[in-house]
Structure 1
Amino acid sequence: MIKVMALMKRKDGMSFEDFRKWILEDHVAFARNLPGLRKYTSNVLRAENADAPFDGVSEMYFDDEAAMAAAFGTEVGKAAGGDAAAHCSNRFRMVCDEKQQF
């Protein structure tokens, strides 16, 4: 299984409260319909921090890179990417191998 971490900074002019609602509630609707997604987690700063390079991180789990590519290539995947682009000034996607240490 692989994990995709999307590190996101809210769009300029967007309030932290609006970003928090978007990442924890609104954007989740896309994840619910993404084919092949095994697990999804939303993470957001507990409080606004102007110095933080990112405001939130989503974690998406897929069986493998082929499943990830297939999911992101669907209409739902493209719509999710468009939704993120509309709400973020900066996004960085990390495809990772997760190793639980304890």
Structure 2
Amino acid sequence: MVTFVNLLVRSDDLDHEAFLERWQGDHIELAKRLPGLERYATSVPTSPEYASYDGIVQLQFPDHETLSDAFDSEIGQEVQEDAATFIDMDESETLIVDETVHLNDADTESDDDR
């Protein structure tokens, strides 16, 4: 599993709320169509006025080739063009990471099972 992590900074012309409306509305619906995408998660800071980023997106793919192919696809190009309309791409950070799960609560016994 490979994860594309993007630490998002909004465009200067948007306040945080307008950014969230744009990002978590039409853009998510577009990005969910990326070929090979297996998991899509977003996180929003609880105190955005104190945060360096306006949000975090995590897109998971089965491998690096599938991730690369997704962003090279026609829909991948659309996603990137759309993102550039509300995200400051120069200020945002991107990481491609391999995930290691150290605890998955769903895999552990609940107190009721003991």
Partner amino acid, structure 2, of 1:92 = E
Displacement after TM superposition at 1:83 (Å):
1.2
Contact 2:23 2:86 in 1 (8 A): no
**Structure 1 runs not aligned, ≥5 long:** none
Which residue is equivalent to 2:107?
Answer: none
Larger radius of gyration: 2
TM-score norm. by structure 1 comes to 0.90
**Structure 2 runs not aligned, ≥5 long:** 104-114
- More strand by proportion, 1 or 2? 1
Partner amino acid, structure 1, of 2:26 = D
TM-score norm. by structure 2 comes to 0.81
Which residue is equivalent to 2:73?
Answer: 74
Dislocated runs of 4+, deviation >6 Å: none
Partner amino acid, structure 1, of 2:85 = A
SS at 1:3 equivalent: strand
Which residue is equivalent to 2:37?
Answer: 37
Q: CA RMSD in A?
A: 1.3
SS at 1:10 equivalent: coil
Deviations for 1:24-56, whole angstroms, at most 9, x for unmatched residues? 22211122211000110111123431x422111
